[in-house]
C-alpha cells in the first residue's frame, strides 16, 4: 500500500476509494477516489482485489447485499455483490462496517435502478456517463454523524408527535438500529431493527412510509438519511394518524439536516 494511503490510517474513519465492477469478470465500470477530501475518477485497483471480485462473483454461494471484508496493511477492502455488478470500497480499519454496508447497499440499489439497464449492453467503463459519479458521491460522502442539535431536535419532535397525534408510540433509530428517542415497547424493537437491518440509507427523505405489522399494530416507517422513524397506530385502528405523524417527523428532520 502506498505511503499516500498510509497517512489516513489513524483517526476518524475515511472512505478512500469506491469502485463498481462487473460481477463475474471484474471489469471496471466506475471508480472514485476521495483521498485528501478531493473527489476524482480513478481506475487504480490492485490486481488481487479485482481477482477477488471475479472469484466471489462467480460463486453461487456468494450472498447478495452482504459485506465481505479483506484487511491489508492497516486498511480494509469491503465487497458487496448485486445481480450484475459489485461495489468495492477501500476504507480505514476503524470504519463502522455495518454503517458502511448501508451506504454500499443504498448505492448499489440506486445504481441498479438508474443504470442497471445499461450494464448488459455497455462496452467499457461508465465513468463518463452523466450522473454516475454524482450518484457515488451522494451515498459515499453523505454525512451520517449526528450533532447534539439534531439529537435534541429528534427528542423534541418525538415528544411533540406523541402529544399531538393519537398514536400508540413513536421513535427514531440510528443506522445501527439503536433507539435514539421514543417510547417504543421492548417487545416491538427487534422487529423494527430487522426492518432497519435490510434497509439502506436515503440521501433525502422517502416519499411514502411502508407499513410493518407488529403484534397487531400497523407500524409506519420512513427513512431520512441514516435515520429510521417508526410510528405505530393503535391495534385494530386506522393507520392514518401514524402515517401523517411519521411523515411530519421525517420532513422536519430532513429540513433540520439539510
Q: Write the burial class of residue 37 (CB in 10 Å: 0-12 exposed, 13-18 middle, 19+ buried).
A: exposed
15 pLDDT higher than 80: yes
Q: How far apart, in whole angstroms, are the C-alpha atoms of residue 49 and residue 255? A: 40
Confidence of residue 257 (pLDDT cuts 50, 70, 90): confident
| 90-112 per-position pLDDT tens digit | 999 988 888 888 889 888 988 98
Distances in whole angstroms, Cα of residue 206 to Cα of each of 136, 199, 209, 228: 19, 12, 7, 10
CATH number of 148-257: 3.30.450.30
Mean pLDDT of the chain: 86
The CATH class that applies to domain 3-140 reads alpha beta
Mean per-residue pLDDT for 10-16?
71
Within the chain, which residue ranges are assigned CATH 3.30.450.30?
Answer: 148-257
Higher-confidence residue: 116 or 192? 192
pLDDT digits (tens, 9 = 90+) for 107-123: 898 898 888 888 877 77
Copy the grid coordinates of residue 166. 393519537
Summarised one tens digit per residue, pLDDT across range 141-188 is 776 666 778 888 899 999 999 999 999 999 999 877 889 999 999 999
User: 10 Å Cβ neighbour count for 79?
Assistant: 22
Which is more confident, 16 or 141? 16
Q: What is the dihedral of CA 191, 192, 195, 200, to 10 degrees?
A: -150
- Mean pLDDT, rounded, for 23-51: 88
- Which residues is 218 bridged to in the sheet? 213
**Which residues belong to CATH 3.30.450.50 in the chain?**
3-140
Q: What is the pLDDT of residue 208?
A: 87
Of 66-70, 143-147, 210-214, least confident by mean pLDDT is 143-147
Q: Where do we find the cell 482485489? A: 49
Mean pLDDT over 189-217 rounds to: 84
Provide the pLDDT for residue 229.
Answer: 95
The predicted structure's pLDDT at residue 241: 94
pLDDT tens per residue across span 234-250: 998 889 999 999 999 99
Nearest-angstrom CA–CA distance, 59 and 197: 24
pLDDT band, residue 203 (cuts 50/70/90): low
Q: Region 7-20: what's the mean pLDDT?
A: 72
Portion of the chain with pLDDT greater than 70, in percent: 91
Residue 2: is its pLDDT beyond 70? Answer: no
Confidence of residue 9 (pLDDT cuts 50, 70, 90): very low
Mean pLDDT of 2-19: 63
Amino acid at each position: 500500500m502506498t505511503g499516500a494511503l498510509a497517512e489516513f490510517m489513524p483517526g476518524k474513519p475515511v472512505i478512500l476509494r469506491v469502485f463498481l465492477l462487473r460481477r463475474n469478470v471484474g471489469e471496471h465500470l466506475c471508480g472514485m477516489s476521495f483521498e485528501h477530501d478531493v473527489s476524482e475518477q480513478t481506475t487504480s485497483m490492485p490486481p488481487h482485489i479485482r481477482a477477488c471480485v471475479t472469484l466471489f462473483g462467480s460463486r453461487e454461494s456468494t450472498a447478495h447485499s452482504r459485506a465481505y471484508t479483506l484487511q491489508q496493511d492497516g486498511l480494509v477492502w469491503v465487497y458487496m455483490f448485486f445481480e450484475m455488478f459489485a461495489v468495492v470500497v477501500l476504507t480505514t480499519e476503524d470504519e463502522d462496517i455495518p454503517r458502511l454496508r448501508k451506504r454500499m447497499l443504498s448505492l448499489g440499489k440506486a445504481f441498479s435502478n438508474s443504470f442497471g439497464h445499461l450494464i448488459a449492453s455497455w462496452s467499457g467503463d461508465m465513468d463518463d456517463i452523466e450522473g454516475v459519479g454524482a450518484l457515488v458521491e451522494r451515498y459515499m460522502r453523505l454525512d451520517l454523524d449526528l450533532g447534539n442539535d439534531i439529537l435534541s431536535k429528534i427528542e423534541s419532535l418525538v415528544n411533540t408527535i406523541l402529544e399531538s397525534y393519537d398514536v400508540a408510540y413513536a421513535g427514531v433509530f440510528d443506522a445501527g438500529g439503536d433507539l435514539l428517542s421514543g417510547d417504543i415497547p421492548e417487545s416491538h424493537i427487534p422487529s423494527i431493527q430487522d426492518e432497519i437491518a435490510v434497509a439502506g440509507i436515503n440521501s433525502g427523505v422517502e416519499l411514502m412510509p411502508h407499513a410493518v405489522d407488529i403484534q397487531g399494530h400497523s407500524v409506519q416507517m420512513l427513512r431520512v438519511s441514516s435515520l429510521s422513524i417508526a410510528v405505530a397506530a393503535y391495534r385494530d385502528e386506522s393507520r392514518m394518524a401514524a402515517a401523517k405523524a411519521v411523515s411530519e417527523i421525517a420532513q422536519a428532520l430532513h429540513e433540520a439536516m439539510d
